[in-house]
Amino acid sequence: MYGDCMKKTIVVLTFLVIGVMISSNISAMISPTFEDKMSIIRNEKLKDFQNNVPLIIDSGLYHTYDEMTELLHNLESNNSDIMSLTSLGKTYEDRDIWMVKISDNVSNNEDEPEVLLIGAHHGNEKPSYEVLIYFIKHIVQNYSRKNTDNDGDGEVNEDPIDGMDNDIDGLIDEDPSEDRVRDVTNNTEIYIIPMLNPDGVEAGIRKNCAPNYGPFGLSKEITSYGVDLNRNYGYRWFFLFIFPKFYFLSTSYDDESNVYRGEKPFSELETKAIRKLVSEQDFKICLSYHTYGKLIIYPWGYTKLPAKDKKLFESIGKDIKQINNYTLGQSVFLYPTIGDACDWLYGRKRVISYTIELGDSHAPSDPAILEEMSIRHVGVNLYICEKSKSLKIKNRGFTPFV
């Protein structure tokens, strides 16, 4: 009797195990889950962090710092009614950190919702500044242009950049709207820092180029160069000491690491510049552009706990996803980090902040891929500007990190 019962149990269990294996395999084959996608990108990126070789690319496709500087000056002088260009300060290698402001009455600080767009925290992530340069050009080129039938089908602005085929002709976003550009420019204030880390861009490296004096700045000699600027923001800084294993490989206090976070919060000129700007302005939404992985990720990055505004992050995130077709989720599930811009912006001031991980590589060499990515994110940027107008969220009072 006992043996029979055992046999039956084993048979049932075997079928159960096989069933579970088959069904989970099938579901993995049908649609890779969020976690599957994340784990593939995670493994690639964590390996990438170990790689300190500068990124060398053919000239022409991507702007150099000097080319961008010249372009922005030209755009400003030809469009000074809606565009201003200011330096947020110098980097270690004496380059200006340029900030573009776009709005009507651009020299006034009007009572309009403010949006912040940042590129190139990491100097080897080329498209992260190109999409923003493209966006600036799109705005100034379309602002005073009359509504145009871009695709010559007799209708005007029938298919704006929103990821949808609005007029059901089989083409997507083929007739961008000049009115939309005007509306956003007239009714919001857009602050764009296309290249936060110009020293890193010129060197083709992730970090900036400032010297380090040991992990905590205690050495008299230079021990290495560069800080990962997107680990240098002052939020939950001490968690690295409390939970070192949780952040292993993605946030480091080893100054030679590619994800070295700096000797203390805001030790770097570039992050200091952002802190000052954010303390003076009242941003509603921020997009921080990076490469790669085709992701839209939002706080928290330091904990698996959900943010208070998780529902809002998800709902705005889904609208962004509609436009760029990226994967949406909480950033900790890519990998846990401390001191990234979005955790700090949201944690300190409740700015609704997303990291956009563009594309499949740090520097695609196909201009068509870059162009498509840029157009998509013109749509994303316009959308978050529009969204900022109806966003009823009270910013927290600014508390600088102590």
Binding piece for Zn ion, criterion CB under 5 A, among 86-94, 123-131, 251-259, 372-380: 123-131
Closest approach, Cβ 160 to Ca ion, in A, equals 5
Q: Whose Cβ is closer to Ca ion: residue 159's or residue 270's? A: 159
Closest approach, Cβ 189 to Ca ion, in A, equals 24
Length in residues, the chain:
402
Residue type (1 letter), 164: M
Of the candidate residues 84, 166, 303, 395, the single one contacting Ca ion (CB under 5 A): 166
Binding piece for Ca ion, criterion CB under 5 A, among 66-74, 175-183, 268-276, 369-377: 175-183
Of the candidate residues 207, 290, 348, 362, the single one contacting Zn ion (CB under 5 A): 290
* Cross-strand bridge partners of residue 101: 84, 191
CB contact at 8 A, 194 and 100: yes
Of the candidate residues 48, 81, 93, 167, the single one contacting Ca ion (CB under 5 A): 167
DSSP for 31-76, please give it: S--HHHHHHHHHHHHHHHHH--------TTSS--HHHHHHHHHHHH
Classified as helix, coil or strand, 227 is coil
Q: Whose Cβ is closer to Ca ion: residue 173's or residue 343's? A: 173
CA separation for the pair 237, 264 (Å, rounded): 8
Does the footprint of Ca ion cover residue 360 (CB under 5 A)?
no
Q: Whose Cβ is closer to Zn ion: residue 119's or residue 347's? A: 119
Binding piece for Zn ion, criterion CB under 5 A, among 16-24, 119-127, 309-317, 319-327: 119-127
Closest approach, Cβ 142 to Ca ion, in A, equals 8
* Cross-strand bridge partners of residue 356: 289, 296
Does the footprint of Ca ion cover residue 322 (CB under 5 A)?
no
Does the footprint of Zn ion cover residue 261 (CB under 5 A)?
no
Q: For 221, phi and psi rounded to 5 degrees?
A: -100, 155
Nearest to 364 by CA among 62, 73, 78, 81: 62
Classified as helix, coil or strand, 89 is strand
Contacts of residue 63, Cβ cutoff 8 Å, sequence gap at least 6: 71, 129, 130, 133
Closest approach, Cβ 349 to Ca ion, in A, equals 33
Residues lying near Ca ion in the complex (CB under 5 A) are found at 148-151, 153, 155, 157, 159, 162, 164-167, 169, 171, 173, 175
Q: What is the binding site for Zn ion (CB under 5 A)?
A: 122, 125, 290
